Amino acid sequence: MKKYVIMIVSAALFSLFTVSCPSPGGGGLKLNLWTWMSGSDVVDQTGSYGDIGVTDPANMPGARGDSTGWIDADGNLWLFGGGDYLGGEGKRNDLWVFDGSNWTWISGSSAKNQSGTYGALNTPAAANIPGARSQSISWIDDDDNLWLFGGGGYDSAGAYGDLNDLWRFDGVNWTWKDGGDLRDQGGDYGTLGVASPLDIPGARSGSVGWIDSFGNLWLFGGYGWDDNDGGASEGNLNDLWRADSIDTATPWWTWLKGSNSVDQAGVYGTQGQGAAANTPGARDNSTGWIDADDNLWLFGGRNGASWYNDLWKFDGTNWIWVSGSNAANQSGVYGTKGEADPANVPGARYCALGWIDSAGNLWLFGGSGFDSAGDTDELNDLWKFDGENWTWMSGSDVLYESGTYGTMGKGDEANVPGARCWSMAWTESGRILWLFGGEGYDSTGAAGLLNDLWKIQVR
């Protein structure tokens, strides 16, 4: 098998597609053209795997949503797992790399719903592989290792549920590092603010994760299981955790903010002002960013039928409600495309994509949510937040938009990905966004799962 070595671009987490850049407020960057790079312009395509470890122009991951991935220093895109319903509902644990021209299947199975093979804790082995899953978080450390945490998937017994297993991939082998090898584990919270090797978040999916400049992992919320004390309950979470020394044999988790019980309401306080009591409400499938000052940014998400468009910042001590509404299910206020306005705000949504550019602006794309008319479904709107105001940059202010693909490999002003959620994205040098798949609308207006790969650049 051909060996691929993962290399880091920066201290970045790509399950939610962040890069470390200057704090918001940069401005001045403009968009280049959307370019369709790979995959199909119609929905529900099956994968073409070829031989494991062998690059071939015919290779292509099948259509899917809720994957996770990362980008290496050579600009290779890595993709792991996700869910699809082609030929029956299922999850995947296949690992792929895209070198700018071709896809290569690296690890995992071409079949769905595979159990995890955990081996011994802290012991790499060729047979080890995380079980099939979706809605995980992942990141790269300073030693070029991939890390993967949790999600909804299959445990060592082949049972499906929420997971809290922590894995490392060194470019050759997977190592199970922490957490349970069985589904639906409750968390061990310990004492608020006190690190312990005995503490760990409960099993969950749809969380937000960030990596700071010190290499620490930050984890917020998701849908899963709360504190083991008194018996864990399942629901939406708003707990904030930090894992220090993530590359050691046993990471030390610290529960820092939020509740150790599910389905807690948010405490907003005064907009723009931090306070110890402030905290986002319990939710899953939010969008996150981290800036060069290690501030954590959080947008939207959902808790059942309540969808949010609130923007939060965590400054290391307190949560600050920055923008958006403290009420659920708000429509988008788009204004004029390309023009910032204090009244502009994206509609409430979940499963959107986010990244930070090299000038420190926050970018938000698509997801499932509310458009300008207050209707709900998949979106393809692209937004920029400059630290003060939102600007609608590209895409439509209404739902159900088809993709305009143009010619593969050629940018065009008319090109735009169709409305979608559950996509995967990577950022390269804070200026290039890569976008893969998800659930949404193709070039014909048909709805389904996608496996198209797009690129857009800010300059």
Please choose, from the candidates 204, 316, 326, 173, the residue with its C-alpha nearest in 3D space to the C-alpha of residue 257.
Answer: 316
| Residues paired with 457 in a beta bridge | 432
CB 349 within 8 A of CB 331: no
Q: What is the per-residue pLDDT for 2?
A: 33
pLDDT tens-digit readout, 229-265: 889 999 999 999 999 877 667 778 999 999 999 999 9
CB 108 within 8 A of CB 188: no
CB 232 within 8 A of CB 226: yes
Distance CA 78, CA 12 (A): 14
E strand intervals along 336-446: 349-350, 353-356, 362-370, 376-385, 390-394, 420-421, 424-428, 432-441
CB 17 within 8 A of CB 425: yes
CB 390 within 8 A of CB 348: no
Q: What is the per-residue pLDDT for 8?
A: 27
pLDDT tens-digit readout, 66-99: 999 988 878 899 999 999 999 889 999 999 999 9
Our separate counts of H helices and E strands in the chain read 0, 28
Distance CA 38, CA 48 (A): 13
pLDDT along the chain (459 residues), means of 10: 30 33 48 92 98 97 96 89 93 96 97 98 96 94 85 98 95 94 97 93 97 91 94 97 79 94 98 98 97 96 98 98 98 97 98 92 97 98 97 97 98 96 90 95 98 90
- Extract the tokens encoding 305: 């039928």
Please choose, from the candidates 356, 353, 372, the residue with its C-alpha nearest in 3D space to the C-alpha of residue 364.
Answer: 353
E strand intervals along 120-169: 133-134, 137-140, 146-154, 160-169
Q: What is the per-residue pLDDT for 341?
A: 98
What DSSP letter does each residue of 299-335 carry, written as one string? EEEEETTEEEEEEEEE-SS-EEEEES-SSSSPPPB--
Counting every residue, how long is the chain? 459
Please choose, from the candidates 58, 37, 35, 34, the residue with its C-alpha nearest in 3D space to the C-alpha of residue 46.
Answer: 58
Q: What is the per-residue pLDDT for 29?
A: 54
Distance CA 13, CA 294 (A): 12
| Residues paired with 137 in a beta bridge | 149
CB 38 within 8 A of CB 84: no
Please choose, from the candidates 208, 218, 210, 157, the residue with its C-alpha nearest in 3D space to the C-alpha of residue 184.
Answer: 157
Distance CA 178, CA 121 (A): 7
Distance CA 319, CA 391 (A): 24
Taking residue 336's Cβ as centre, other Cβ atoms within 10 Å add up to 10
**Is domain 35-457 in CATH 2.120.10.80, yes or no?**
yes
What DSSP letter does each residue of 182-221 carry, written as one string? SSSPPBB--STT--BTT-BPPPEES-EEEE-TTS-EEEEE
pLDDT tens-digit readout, 137-169: 998 877 778 899 999 999 999 999 999 999 999
Distance CA 266, CA 285 (A): 16
Distance CA 437, CA 61 (A): 10
Please choose, from the candidates 103, 78, 42, the residue with its C-alpha nearest in 3D space to the C-alpha of residue 440.
Answer: 42
